[in-house]
Structure 1
Amino acid sequence: MNQPIRILIVDDHPLLQEGIVMVVEHEPDMQVVGSAATGRESIALCERLQPNLVLMDLRLPDISGIDAMIAIRAKWPTVKVILLTTFAGDAEVNRALKAGAAGYLLKTMPRKQIVESIRQIHAGRRRIDPGVAANLAEHMGLETLSQREVEILKQVAEGNRNKEIAHQFALSEETIKSHMKNILEKLGASDRTQAVSIAVRRGIMQL
């Protein structure tokens, strides 16, 4: 008889964590070996419990799910990590997949699809939620914001004007205006408020 898939569940919301545990434990070929509420706890439990697969939330209270995944895969490269989250922004999906995520699933997926995805990923396939994949395809090839542009947009989100942002980064106000023009063009935004909204929705930055 094949050994069950050993699964570690990482989510900082107790009710959601319990719900995911219940979904997985109903499957005869799966075993929940542990659960964690933070990224650092998930890394420690991987060492102690040696799971085959980790179901990881994206947003955690200490480090991001992506950072936790990178640390886990650096130590245990055979462990497959699935991001199971409510966030479908293409920028976050791209970061997760480039960092080695074996799957990117949404918590809104039907239970049957989640467990079938776990089986497929354990067997060596990569699985992305269809809606997430469509969003990814829609933005594929678009020019991304530079790190400096993201930093400037975060300042905009905090309500700072160009003059204040220029002072913050020791740049001229004209340079900030030029950056803002590029940001609006890259995001297809008509104004600063819309640029912030698009960037948050796509996972380019968090507020």
Structure 2
Amino acid sequence: MAYRVVIADDEKTSRSLFEYIINDAEDYKLEGSFPRAGEAADYCASHPTDLCIMDIVMRDGESGLDAAARIRKTSPDTKIVLVTSNVDPNSIRVARKIGVNSFWYKETSEEPLLTLIGRTMAGESIYPDNTPKIIIGNAPSTEFTNREYDVLRELVTGKSNRQIADTLAVSEETVKSHIQHMLDKTGYGNRVELSINAALYGLVTPGGGSERFD
């Protein structure tokens, strides 16, 4: 019997590609394809589903990580493969904590998605060894500290320094210091330019999930 598959990705091109891959494979049957993570989670909660392929960052700030956590609770037997163009290292940590089975980078993963899916359905859990490196301004993404990533995840949501400080339980001066360090590294002129480019290049996942770092 073919594995029942659900797809969630707000990018039509990516979603169509995943649909083609599943429809062209003998062992899989596409049961649903959605532009929103919540729709896929709702479907999995009410229909037997063997596999969910879920993008992490959706439109309007919707989180594939949050939807994956819902699926893990309501449909514990459903295998989950998270896919993303985003290079935020915290996404992998949160995915592991949630219990996501496998993780695949859209642009940089060497293993074909269908191969990874097959190994996942066979019981393997497959994660990349390293986070892809991108350049933002003058700085490679590997030069940012964990705490700078924490601040940046909140910054791209539009929060003020005070709001970021309250969220991370640090002082406002500490937040300002981290932002200044990131401006120095990237060469950007202000926090708005930093925020826009961090989101544009997929450096962070807005909101960033639940894990924090010292």
Fold match by TM threshold 0.5 = yes
Higher share in helix: 1
CA contact (8 A) 2:7 2:53 kept: yes
What's the counterpart of residue 116 of structure 2? 117
Match of 1:13 in 2: 11
What amino acid is aligned across from residue 69 of structure 1 in structure 2?
A: A
Q: Which residue of 2 aligns with 1:177?
A: 173
Q: Does 1:39 align with 2:37?
A: yes
Structure 1 pair 100/144, CA: closer, same or farther in 2 (3 Å)?
A: farther
Aligned length: 190
In 1, Cα distance between equivalents of 2:45 and 2:185: 45
How many angstroms apart in 2 are the aligned matches of 1:109 and 1:168?
A: 31
Following the alignment from structure 2 to structure 1, what is the Cα–Cα distance between the partners of residues 164 and 31? 48
Structure 2: distance between partners of 1:125 and 1:188: 42
Q: Distance in 2 between matches of 1:88 and 1:168?
A: 21
Pick 1 or 2: higher relative contact order, CA cutoff 8 A, min separation 6: 2
What root-mean-square deviation, in Å, do the aligned CA atoms of Structure 1 and Structure 2 show?
A: 3.9
Matches within 5 A, 1:25-104: 25-61=23-59, 63-104=62-103
**8 Å contact from structure 1 (residues 92, 202) kept in 2:** no
Farther-moved stretch of structure 1 (25-34 vs 51-60): 25-34
Contact 2:10 2:34 in 1 (8 A): yes
Residue 199 of structure 1 deviates from its aligned partner by 5.9
Mapped to 1, the partners of 2:36 and 2:87 lie a distance apart of: 21
Residue type at the aligned position of 1:18: S
Alpha-carbon distance in 1 for matches of 2:6, 2:153: 34
In the alignment, the residues of structure 1 paired with residue 177 and residue 154 of structure 2 have an alpha-carbon distance, to the nearest angstrom, of 12
Question: What is the TM-score normalised by the length of structure 1?
Answer: 0.70
- What is the rounded CA distance, in whole Å, between the counterparts of 2:25 and 2:163 in structure 1? 57
User: CA separation of 1:187/1:91 partners in 2, compared to 1, >3 Å: closer, same or farther?
Assistant: farther
SS of residue matched to 2:45: helix
Answering whether residue 125 of structure 2 is matched by residue 126 of structure 1, we say yes
Measured at CA, do residues 126 and 167 of structure 1 come closer, stay the same or move farther in structure 2, by a change above 3 Å?
closer
Cα displacement (A) at 1:68: 0.6
Structure 2 Cα separation of the partners of residues 47 and 102 of structure 1: 18
Residue 22 of structure 1 deviates from its aligned partner by 0.7
Ranges in structure 2 where 5+ consecutive residues have no aligned partner? 134-140, 208-214
User: Which whole-Å deviations, capped at 9, do the CAs of 1:12-65 have from their partners, x for residues lacking one?
Assistant: 233322221111221111221221221221122113431111000112236311
Match of 1:144 among 135, 141, 147: 147
- Higher CA-based Rg: 1
Q: What letter matches 1:27 in structure 2? A: A
